[in-house]
Chains A and B, each alone.
Chain A
Amino acid sequence: MKQIIKNIFSKQEIAILVPFLILILFFYSRNEAMLNHVTITSILRTIAFPALISMGMVQLMIAGEIDLSTASVMSFCAVLTAKLVRDFNFSITEAVIISLLCSLLIGFINAFLSVKIGIFSVIATIGTGFIVRGGSYLFTNGLPIYPLPESFAILGSLRPFNISFTFFLMLGIALFVQLLLTSTKWGTSIYATGSNWQAAEVSGINTFKVKMLCFMATSFLSGCAGLLTMSQLPGTPGDPIIGLNLELDILAGVIVGGVSLYGGRGSAIGSLIGVAFIQIVRSGLVIGHFNPYLQLPALGLLLMLAVGWDVIKHKKNVA
């Protein structure tokens, strides 16, 4: 019995649920509004975007790389689509396809720099992130692009069960990624690439291809998240500040959810819980009448704790 309990809690995805519930109860005890209908739906709507991106990030991090340009890609895709539609008379479909192709290209460049050339992916993606965000400000002079056709808001204004379209899209993708990771050959090759790429290479896995597809998936999902954010904003402006500082939420969420910085460990459900955890902390600090400026230091601290925990666990496994 003891062993079973130990086994269950050795999975970080499940272990994280305990502080998760405690936090919710704590914030609930400070203010009962924590668990009312409005709060919960707004939290679910907010986590949809970082969670959507984290579904690419989780694969990428299991494969042993990282991407810090996600939030910039969000902004870039939204702005590019808006620009193409308003100033160059593209139809919405064409513009969306072009900007998503651009996001795939950015993912490919990230992969090429990190894997083929061998720059650490942290540095390479900081570089591409700045270039991409610089691009999106340059396009717009820093001002939102509007007015745009009302049909931009079609997806964003859908409210199934009063939540949002993005949330259900994200849930679907999360399930899909979880299945991919646990029960397909693709999943196995991601884990193999991340835990020991030489061994993976020897056993016939093209690790560059695996990492490249993971990078491209992350960028693609970031692009989608950017477009969906735009579609959900009132007046659907192509605003370059879309996704500003969101990379912290994504990264912290994924790591809190049990994905290892060293690659080879993690799950989609875990990162979903992790991203939700981050949002609970953010919203809880506001609802629980704490100083709202505490959000960022709290997240930074949480990220550091999660990283420290991950490293200690990794050391134990290696030893």
Chain B
Amino acid sequence: MNSNRIKFLIYKFPEFGILLAVIISFTIFYVADNSIAETSTLVRMATQGTCIGFAAYGMGYLMISGEIDLSSGSVAGLTAAISGMMLDSGYSELTSYMAALSAAAMVGFLNSFMTLVIGIPSFFGTLGTSFAASGLCIWLLKGRWIYTGDYIPFLDLIFSPSPFLDFPWIFLFYIFLIILGDTLIRTSKLGTILKATGGNLISAKIAGINTNYVKTSCFILTSINFGFAGILVMGYGGTADFSIGLDWILWVIAIAIIGGGSLRGGVGSIFGTFLGVCLIQIIRIGLMNAEIQTNAQKIVVGTILIGAATFDSLKSKSKT
């Protein structure tokens, strides 16, 4: 009875399991090293988490609609490179970001074109754009580091501490977006449309949903989010260089899958991606505090990715 109840809870609220994992991992790291609960550490966690969180945010929607985007890191790098170069050559902040984000949106459009019109599975199509975009980024930067620290008052402002526990403003904005998105998905028609598109494409079409429109919007939204995350990282570090977005492909997919997104589409939650970000950040910072090499993070997160994907796969197998 009791175990059935837990099963029901986990089935009904997939976030419950992740929440548990977040709490457990936090407790473990807290016991090992109290400093993880200090305000300064939490702020650092929140700031870094916001950057990667924005990248994963769009993926939440995209995966519900049944597609995936593997170009996260490259698009982030490309956007940072473009905006860095434009800032460096004297354009205003707004113009640079708009131009860079339009480039990101174009990549998103290209992804949706390849997936929906040509019919390349999004795994492979976006892997191709990922290589192309990172190539483009390297070509643009030609190995340079562009120092942008002096031209970004706006980014400095959104990274400045807010009255609320010194968390940066952008983090509060991120939380706001999470709540907004989650509420929309749960209560409005948007959630139904996305889930129908991802869960059963043909029925969704018959029901009169323009699935191509839905998926295209998701692809473009995702790419813009990747791009915005890239700009945030640039603002945080004060430089634009090719290392922005390196290895994000792992983090972003891991977060999206931990957050309850399925590789088969139709399910997922925006709040789940937030919990995914929390889990990843706790592990990153926890390992860093324990003075374990940064390369161990890759191993841990890779293992988590495989674990979450295994769970997802077994769950969808048991349903059919």
Contacts and interface: CB of A to CB of B under 8 A. Distances in A.
Chain A interface size band reads: 35 or more
Given A117-B313, A300-B128, A300-B135, A134 B120 contact: no
Interface in B62-121: 70, 114, 118-121
Interface in A118-152: 118-120, 122-124, 126-131, 133-135, 137-138, 141-142
Interface in B114-147: 114, 118-121, 123-125, 127-136, 138-139, 142-143
B1 interface: no
B305 A298 contact: no
B293 A141 contact: yes
B118 A312 contact: yes
Interface string A104-118: 000000000100011
Contacts, number: 131
A294 interface: yes
Contacts of A297: 132, 135-136, 138-139
Interface residues of B, number: 46
Interface string B287-320: 0000001011111011101100110111001000
A291 interface: yes
A308 interface: yes
B263 interface: yes
B250 interface: yes
Nearest to A141: B293
Tell me if B's interface is mostly helix, strand, loop or mixed: helix
A301 B132 contact: yes
A122 B127 CA distance: 10
A307 B317 CA distance: 29
B306 A296 contact: no
Interface in A264-312: 291, 293-301, 303-304, 307-308, 311-312
B303 A131 contact: yes
A255 B247 CA distance: 24
Contacts of B127: 122, 251, 303
Given A303-B131, A304-B129, A138 B299 contact: yes
Contacts of B125: 304, 307
Contacts of A130: 247, 250, 298-299, 301-302, 305
B249 interface: yes
B45 interface: no
B131 A134 contact: no
Given A113-B310, A118-B317, A119-B310, A304 B114 contact: yes
Contacts of B301: 130
Contacts of B317: 118
B298 A131 contact: yes
Nearest to B253: A123
A119 B139 contact: no
A43 interface: no
Interface string A239-255: 00000000010011000
B135 A298 contact: yes
A190 interface: no
Contacts of A230: none
B129 A120 contact: no
A120 B131 contact: no
A251 B313 CA distance: 25
Nearest to A252: B131
B299 A295 contact: no
Most central of A120, A126, A142, A315 by chain B CB within 10 Å: A126
B209 to A, nearest CB: 23
Contacts of A126: 70, 249-250, 253, 305
Given A118-B317, A123-B263, A307-B125, A138 B295 contact: yes
B3 to A, nearest CB: 24
B152 to A, nearest CB: 26
A134 B292 CA distance: 12
A228 interface: no
B313 A311 contact: no
Contacts of A304: 114, 125, 128-129, 132
Contact of A120 (B119, B123, B132, B138): B123
Nearest to A315: B119
A307 B119 CA distance: 10
Nearest to B141: A293
Contacts of B313: 117-119
Contact of A127 (B128, B247, B309): B309
Contact of A311 (B118, B293, B306, B312): B118
A308 B114 contact: yes
Contacts of B299: 130-131, 134-135, 138
A214 interface: no
A181 interface: no
A63 interface: no
A135 B247 CA distance: 15
Given A293-B142, A303-B128, A304-B114, A124 B306 contact: yes
A217 interface: no
B16 to A, nearest CB: 23
Interface of A: 113, 117-120, 122-124, 126-131, 133-135, 137-138, 141-142, 248, 251-252, 261, 291, 293-301, 303-304, 307-308, 311-312, 315
Interface of B: 70, 114, 118-121, 123-125, 127-136, 138-139, 142-143, 247, 249-250, 253, 257, 263, 293, 295-299, 301-303, 305-306, 309-310, 312-314, 317
Given A120-B263, A291-B142, 4 more contacts: A127-B302, A128-B302, A295-B135, A296-B138
- The 6 closest A-B CB pairs, nearest first, are A296-B135, A300-B132, A134-B298, A297-B135, A300-B131, A131-B302
